[in-house]
Structure 1
């Protein structure tokens, strides 16, 4: 009887130890922040981070990459803070890529025109103040050397977006 009790207690201790030693705490994910934080706290986090005077180029890229990983379109206040941070580290190309990323996040069709247009209208004073042109102002919103090719069927989705659906010879 005592042998059975000893074996049971050893087995129970081994299971307990195994469960404790193999259990891994869930590391913080992006989705946790979105679920726990209200929208204003989320915006404040990025605005405060990007508004730091000692921020460097790596930290700006890190913040913008992290912001892009979330499944949200940033509020105009956050976009303004990001544009000011890009200008502070003197990285003009990053401002253009950030604006392009926002445009991509806005979806397609009329939704893109409405949401992206709204954001650009809201941050226009900051763009003018900092001397930043949008990709549309610079003519970068359409590819310069795009030539449609019939054998690449996956490109057809871009034909209409870039105006090739109205040109003769590109009908499929």
Structure 2
């Protein structure tokens, strides 16, 4: 028996078995079934089910919280092995409509040191300066990141080239 004959036989037997079974009710509920005594019965998703669905991190439309963003990029920068990965992660981190936290910046600076990429470490601070809303926020970031800058020996562009900024 050829494979086409087997396929036809299998397809027909499936169709026959469907017609032999009683059909399940697939009609939408009527308004009388949904609204009983003025109260709506729980048909469909409940609010808690929708909230549980919103927590699914694998959903492509999942809204990532700032804490999840921070944890994800800290982990990404800890795993950096070359300059390309470092710059790609920095590009992705700064592409969001937020300024990365100081812990993410610290992880990025340590990754830049690990792959021996001093220019990228300097550019991290230029990226912060471009992302913040005002100079006061930039000064707060500099104040918070001063220990890591001193530890790694990263100078700011403003201190290296005072006339150009």
Give TM-score, length-normalised by structure 2.
0.59
1:59 paired to 2:85: yes
Report the CA distance between 1:139 and its aligned residue.
2.3
Runs of 5+ consecutive residues of structure 1 not aligned to the other structure? 1-26, 144-161, 163-172
> Equivalent residue of 1:136, what SS?
helix
Give TM-score, length-normalised by structure 1.
0.57
1:40 paired to 2:67: yes
1:77 paired to 2:103: yes
Cα deviation code 1:78-98 (max 9, x no counterpart) = 111111111111111111112
Once superposed, which parts of structure 1, at least 4 consecutive aligned residues long, lie more than 6 Å away?
none
> Equivalent residue of 2:160, what SS?
coil
> Equivalent residue of 2:72, what SS?
helix
Which residue of structure 2 aligns with residue 49 of structure 1?
76
Cα deviation code 1:6-54 (max 9, x no counterpart) = xxxxxxxxxxxxxxxxxxxxx95xxx46x2x2211110100011012x6
Runs of 5+ consecutive residues of structure 2 not aligned to the other structure? 1-58
| Higher alpha-carbon Rg | 2
How many residues of Structure 1 are paired with residues of Structure 2 in the alignment?
107
